[in-house]
Amino acid sequence: MSIGKRDLGDDNLSLDDTDMEILALPEEADTDDDDKMNLDDSSLTLVVDHDSGIDDESYSDDTDFNRSSPTLKTGSYTKWHEGDPLLRKIGLEKLNDRGYVNLEAICTDRTFGYPGDRALNAARWRAKYEVQIGLCSQIIEEGKKKGKYGKLDKFHRIHPIFRQDNWTSDDLLMGDESNCSFNKLKPVLQLATLLLEDETMVGYIFNMLDVDSHKEVTFAGVENRLRRNVYGFQQRHNLSGAERQIVWKDLCELSKTLWWTEKDMTFEKESFHAYTRGEQGTIEIVLDKRHLDYVCREVSPTEDAIDWKPGSDDDSARLRVMFNLATTMIHEVMHALWRNKYYPDYEPFYMDTRAAELGFQWEQLLYSGQIDNPTSDRGSPYILSISKWPSPGEKEDSPTILMSHKKWGSSNAYQEFAVEMSFVQNMFTDEFWAEVDRYGISKFWPRRMLGVRSTVVSEYWEAESPIVRGPTDGRPSSPDGADSKGIIDRH
């Protein structure tokens, strides 16, 4: 693995004059609590056994196909629910009654976020940096009073990575302030900006890109199976102001070489939301055109939904698509950051996670799981669900998986929960971001209710040993490096 170096000296971390002039930022620390479950004693638990996977197509080595909806095998035919137990067993009517499908009214804010230091520090540094490098002129924030925060100017509510100049679609790239399509996309871009610069995840990006801090993963049998050296990293906590600026500047620099394009993936890449390709200096992120159509081109996101009472609501489904699109964009930016510095090196593993996928790992850390549409419908006409990542369904020959979910020692109780629509709606409100500023990352964790839960049974891979070998067992040693008791030392 080729290692890129970062000069992080003790004094100024190799910041240039522009960085040092902007540096005066207050420190802030977050406490990341363990995942919490809210349980409903009267609820019903559904136990099912199904496999999940991704598209079987072969793709070129220079493309990362990353964020995808689950492709569920349901026998010789596919029904509208595609085997998803939350939809099949509980049913849309009950899910809707409990607040998981349609909202009675959409209550979002046109602009949101930036109630305090957690988000404002990054945005204000970015605003000053853009003035310093001549990208924009000085903008006076509206309503700013001495000693108090004013309303952040709308120009700086969208990170330069997502701004209009970085899009190739004519109706998104061309036009002025009255451009209808791009204006409808702005809430998604505002949310994406807030997620990208969230205080908690800056430490993840910092050590992800600081390859000098990565350590080799030395589990028995891993190098033989993957045929390469494997490296991992862990999140950096309590970053200094200068270290935060390293990340903020990396993100701004990426905006100069990144392009957003779109493609209809209806048939060619059915299970994918987006993919990233390119290398240093030329990064392209390709989004599914239909997601953009649903958000900003007045295409109905429920056009393929089944008929049911009262039916899937367009506005609620569109809100789910908007949330999913913002998450997908940040997922792909994680891959773009790595590609822009270290392509063609493999992405590193995170701590003791058995899979290496920087986009999904970001989702797992922020949301405490992967939130997605449980069916392959692009318009999210029914619900969103959350489950732990990585799932048990990865392929055994994957070059980015250490071993199976079961052999890793994970519980068989791999579960999927429906996500309340109130959680999705809140992401687009000022009130939610005020709570994030006050309480931290736990506000990003959807409630997990037992009454809307399913459980998947995981299995060993064929090459792995399902047998616990005792001291007198005469059979050959375990091919996956387990000891005489069938235990793998992961530390």
Alpha helices in 234-313 (DSSP H): 241-254, 289-296
Mean pLDDT to the nearest integer, 366-387: 94
Q: Is 215 a residue whose pLDDT tops 80?
A: yes
The answer to whether 412 and 406 have CB atoms below 8 angstroms apart is yes
380: nearest Cα among 296, 315, 453, 464: 315
pLDDT tens figures, 270-292: 678 999 999 999 999 999 999 99
Query: What's the confidence (pLDDT) of residue 484?
Result: 55
Query: What's the confidence (pLDDT) of residue 57?
Result: 34
Q: Which two tokens stand for residue 106?
A: 């959409």
Mean pLDDT to the nearest integer, 372-382: 91
Strands 215-217 and 71-72: unpaired
Q: Is 478 a residue whose pLDDT tops 80?
A: no
pLDDT tens figures, 399-448: 888 877 766 766 656 789 999 999 999 999 999 999 999 999 999 999 99
Lowest mean pLDDT among 403-407, 451-455, 471-475: 471-475
**C-alpha 55: how far from chain center:** 19
Query: What's the confidence (pLDDT) of residue 462?
Result: 66
pLDDT tens figures, 156-190: 899 999 999 999 998 887 766 666 789 999 999 99
d(CA 92, CA 319): 18
Q: Is 138 a residue whose pLDDT tops 70?
A: no
pLDDT tens figures, 201-211: 999 999 999 99
Band of the pLDDT at 105, cuts 50, 70, 90? very high
Strands 52-53 and 71-72: antiparallel
Q: Which two tokens stand for residue 393?
A: 């369904």
Q: Is 100 a residue whose pLDDT tops 80?
A: yes
Q: Which residues contact 115 (CB under 8 A, 6 or more apart)?
A: 430, 433, 434, 437
Q: Is 454 a residue whose pLDDT tops 50?
A: yes
- Between 236 and 51, the higher pLDDT residue: 236
Angle at 284 between CA 283 and CA 286, to 5 degrees: 155
Query: What's the confidence (pLDDT) of residue 390?
Result: 87
d(CA 169, CA 262): 7
In this structure, the number of other CB atoms found within 10 A of the CB of residue 177 comes to: 7
Query: Cα-Cα-Cα-Cα dihedral of 477, 483, 486, 487, to 10°?
Result: -150
pLDDT tens figures, 395-407: 767 888 887 776 6
**C-alpha 184: how far from chain center:** 22
Q: Which two tokens stand for residue 296?
A: 């900003």
**C-alpha 116: how far from chain center:** 24
Band of the pLDDT at 465, cuts 50, 70, 90? low
pLDDT tens figures, 39-84: 333 333 343 333 332 233 333 445 665 666 554 433 333 578 888 8
The answer to whether 457 and 49 have CB atoms below 8 angstroms apart is yes
Query: What's the confidence (pLDDT) of residue 144?
Result: 54
Q: Is 231 a residue whose pLDDT tops 60?
A: yes
Among residues of the chain, what percentage have pLDDT more than 90?
A: 50
Q: Is 385 a residue whose pLDDT tops 50?
A: yes
d(CA 405, CA 390): 8
Whole-model pTM: value is: 0.80
pLDDT tens figures, 144-153: 554 444 457 7
Query: What's the confidence (pLDDT) of residue 89?
Result: 85
In whole numbers, what is the pLDDT of the chain averaged over residues?
79
Query: What's the confidence (pLDDT) of residue 8?
Result: 34
Among residues of the chain, what percentage have pLDDT more than 70?
A: 70
Strands 230-233 and 349-350: parallel
